[in-house]
Amino acid sequence: MTKPRSTSRPRPATITDVARGARVSVASVSRVVNGHANVLPATRARIARVIEQLRYVPNTAARSLIRQQTHSIGVLLPDLYGGFFSELIRGIDGAARDHKLQLLLSSSHGDAHEIAAAMRALVADVPTVFMNSRVTGRPALAIDNYGGARAMVRHLIGRGHRTITHIAGPADNFDAHERERGYRDELAAALPRVKPVVVRGDFSEAAGYAAGRTLASGKRRPAAVFAANDGMAIGCLAAFDSLGLAVPRDLAVTGFDDIPLAAYVRPPLTTMRVPIVELGRGAVSQLVTAITTPTPTRTLTPPLAPTLIVRESCGIHNSVEGHDAGGHDASQPQHGISRPRNRKPRTP
Amino acid sequence: MTKPRSTSRPRPATITDVARGARVSVASVSRVVNGHANVLPATRARIARVIEQLRYVPNTAARSLIRQQTHSIGVLLPDLYGGFFSELIRGIDGAARDHKLQLLLSSSHGDAHEIAAAMRALVADVPTVFMNSRVTGRPALAIDNYGGARAMVRHLIGRGHRTITHIAGPADNFDAHERERGYRDELAAALPRVKPVVVRGDFSEAAGYAAGRTLASGKRRPAAVFAANDGMAIGCLAAFDSLGLAVPRDLAVTGFDDIPLAAYVRPPLTTMRVPIVELGRGAVSQLVTAITTPTPTRTLTPPLAPTLIVRESCGIHNSVEGHDAGGHDASQPQHGISRPRNRKPRTP
DNA sequence: CTGAAAGCGCTTACAG
DNA sequence: CTGAAAGCGCTTACAG
């Protein structure tokens, strides 16, 4: 954002200024700026000097206009809160960087206008890729939320839990809906006699905390609580602890997503690992493909299957001879399985 | 990113297409697009219809070029991992939205080129605001990391702890440096006989975990551990738990930042609250000021003071008659003090 | 190797 | 109220 007219800030040098300074045409300046070969070394040097002197930087808008490409991608997320989106953005950022694409980030905050605009992009022929969305027939990337939820419930049942309560996500959220559906279906299939109990949350730790307090004080405390995401599971863990209930001794708690913190919470959280960073990277790849592909292909990638990560909150203690019936991956922080790989955070 | 030439994707409608379709000049189209008054209702309606038909959307690059403003701001962060940056981005996004600014996000990944480019922006007269940086004499926004660290050490000493170990952040990080300096100075001032013990971390949970394991098995276990950020404090908590050590009974642990999860971890983490979201918002405000102000003002905002949040990890139990000697804020999840306000996460 | 010129898609005085 | 035209800062055939 620049407003040279309304301020006394000096107007940035343009290609014309450089051309004048080096006594050449703008065409030559453009050539050296873009690293074309056909410029005499002497001319090139002269131009380079002026560029440096004037601190010339090509105007991005002009370039985008003439080249018909902005080298940027837009990312519209419903929200920016929490470990899930944080990791997703990391993945997207990394891929954007690899492709030398600028990242335009914004969150819809549930704003109807913004969402409508995004939907319009769908019908206008703007390259788009949806993630975990109801929209079909378009490039999209999805997590098998339904299958993951079923697997989690199956695991809990396998561990001997009979009464399993589900803390669901927001009613209008597609991921939340699919996870809840998986919970209901698996429960109905495996334990036809026990009926599902669902308490509605909103994916926040606070919601999980509130749900946990309610469940613990209810007349019939469940044997296990399956939260629709790790944030709520962590809130739930905190609630039980605050009430003097021990997890997993008194009841089990599991989550979904496997955010980085899931392994560091006490007890370590059993959860379904969603390859979040890869999801972000994959979305960018698909977008790049959609952009560069002549005819929009309708290759629909199959949903990514989450994997069960058995830690301690579900009632399994990771002893040396861990006895996980399902043979699933059991990770502990010190094994580094859940810690970010190859990264050195720079944040306070 | 669009490459109409190299693909068979239909070229988006331009203002010329609309003008032709409505049998008017491009000037008139521009007028209705920009909501100018001087267009006859009939003409306006005709143009509007064509705009709709053609799904015309003004080309952003062309607009930016002619208006000399891009309506966007760039945010360069060293990293994108964890609760701190997550909240910071939320704050920045919210403010950008309020100012109707597009957010260009990227992380330097420690890339020297990228950082050098940012530094060059400093000397070129591009409006810039630095956050928690060594750079001085420019619009900047900072946290009083030094003072915060001193306050935390003072609190720990007040609670009776004598041997306090500091888990520091990365050696080349300014925040980390200031926090460590605060730790050393306060310790030297209050307890001249005990010498500081610092173990180096990198702000990740994994680093905190590793440090915790080391400290616990060392010959002289400290009475308290003050981690330079919440992530490491949480890792440390996990390490102690895995070793059968109870916090705060066996030793105290405190963090810095007060990320959203700090209140939900067990035991709830005592920490220095940094107004992260406000920091992000403030940076955007300052930037907007820098952009719109005729002559760059050198008003340097004083550093924001973090506030001590006493929870349980430091040895204070929040009983009904909480006996916090310092009279500090004690928060618990159910009081909502640490839960995000007015937000409904949409993330799984 | 170098330059004059057209043109990318818009906005905005300036006339009428 | 409406349009012709200039111009924002670039890139790229096209000549020479």
pLDDT tens-digit series, residues B257-281: 999 999 999 999 999 999 999 999 9
DSSP 8-state code for residue B12:
P
Touching B: A residues 165-184, CB under 8 Å: 169-170, 173, 175-176, 179
Q: Which of B2, B90, B294 sits opposite A70 (nearest CB)?
A: B2
Task: Report yes or no on whether pTM surpasses 0.75.
Answer: yes
Closest residue of chain A to B238, computed from CA coordinates: A264
Over residues A62-75, the mean pLDDT reads: 92
- The 3-state secondary structure of chain A reads CCCHHHCCCCCCCCHHHHHHHHCCCHHHHHHHHCCCCCCCHHHHHHHHHHHHHHCCCCCHHHHHHHHCCCCEEEEEECCCCHHHHHHHHHHHHHHHHHCCCEEEEEECCCCHHHHHHHHHHHHCCCCCCEECCCCCCCCEECECHHHHHHHHHHHHHHCCCCCEEEEECCCCCHHHHHHHHHHHHHHHHHCCCCCCEEEECCCCHHHHHHHHHHHHHCCCCCCEEEECCHHHHHHHHHHHHHCCCCCCCCCEEECCECCHHHHCCCCCCEEEECCHHHHHHHHHHHHHHHHHCCCCCCCCCCCECCEEECCCCCCCCCCCCCCCCCCCECCCHHHCCCCCCCCCCCCC
**pLDDT band, residue A63 (cuts 50/70/90):** very high
Q: How many CB pairs under 8 A join A and B?
A: 328
Supply the pLDDT for residue B38: 86
- Cα–Cα distance between B240 and B214 in angstroms, integer? 10
pLDDT band at B27 (very low <50, low <70, confident <90, very high): very high
* Nucleic strand C within 7 A of Cβ A116: no
Task: Kindly identify which residue of chain A lies nearest to residue B111, measuring between CA atoms.
Answer: A97
Query: ω before A192 within 30° of 0 (cis)?
Result: no
Residue type, A180: E
Amino acid A274 reads V
Structure tokens at A73: 């991608």
A129: contact with B, CB 8 A cutoff = no
Q: Is pLDDT above 70 for B298?
A: no
pLDDT at B325 over 80: no
The DSSP H or E segment spanning B164 is strand B164-168
Strand D proximal to B62 Cβ, under 7 A: yes
* DSSP per-residue string spanning B241-268: HHTT--TTTT-EEE-SB--GGGGTSSSP
Lowest-confidence segment of A143-147, B24-28, B117-121, B171-175 by average pLDDT: B117-121
**Worst-scoring range by mean pLDDT, B35-44, B82-91, B129-138, B331-340?**
B331-340
Interface contact A86-B72, CB threshold 8 A: no
Q: Which residue has the tokens 């200031």?
A: B178
pLDDT band at B141 (very low <50, low <70, confident <90, very high): confident
B321 to A218, B158, B317: CA distances (angstroms): 27, 19, 10
pLDDT exceeds cutoff 90 at A269: yes
Bridge partners for B198 per DSSP: B166
Residue A331 pLDDT exceeds 70? no
* Per-residue model confidence as pLDDT tens digits over A286-295: 999 888 876 6
The predicted-structure confidence for A194-240, as pLDDT tens digits, reads as follows: 999 999 999 999 999 999 999 998 888 999 999 999 999 999 999 99
User: Which residue, among A72, A202, A204, A75, has the nearest Cα to A131 in the 3D structure?
Assistant: A75
Question: In the complex, which nucleotide's C1' lies nearest to the CA atom of residue B19?
Answer: D3
Please give the residue that has the higher pLDDT: either B3 or A71.
Answer: A71
Alpha carbons A26 and B176: distance in angstroms, whole number: 48
Q: Which of A280-294, B143-157, B315-329 has the lowest mean pLDDT?
A: B315-329
CB contact, 8 Å: A90 with chain B? Answer: yes
Does the CB of A277 have a partner CB in chain B at under 8 Å?
Answer: no
Closest residue of chain A to B78, computed from CA coordinates:
A346
% residues pLDDT > 70 (chain B): 84
> Is residue A114's pLDDT more than 80?
no
Q: Which of chain B's residues have a Cβ under 8 Å away from the Cβ of A81?
A: 86, 90, 260, 340, 343, 345, 347
Asked if the model's pLDDT at residue B15 lies above 80, the reply is yes
Shortest-distance nucleotide from B26 CA to C1': D3
> Which range in A315-329, B104-118, B236-250 is most confidently predicted, on average pLDDT?
B236-250
Higher-confidence residue: B69 or B343?
A: B69
Q: Is B268 on the interface with A (CB under 8 A)?
A: yes
Instruction: Give the CA B28 to C1' C14 distance in Å.
Output: 15
For residue B312, the model assigns a pLDDT of 93
- In angstroms, the CA of B63 and the C1' of D7 are apart by 13
Tens of pLDDT along B38-79? 899 999 999 999 999 999 999 999 999 999 988 899 999 988
The answer to whether A104 and B102 have CB atoms below 8 angstroms apart is yes
Could you tell me where the DSSP H helices lie in chain B? 15-22, 26-33, 41-54, 60-67, 82-98, 112-123, 145-158, 174-190, 205-217, 230-242, 276-292
Closest CA of chain B from A37, distance in Å: 24
Tell me what the mean pLDDT of segment B236-243 comes to: 96
Structure tokens at B337: 């003090």
Strand D closer than 7 A to residue A63 Cβ = yes
**A37 beta carbon < 7 A from strand C?**
yes
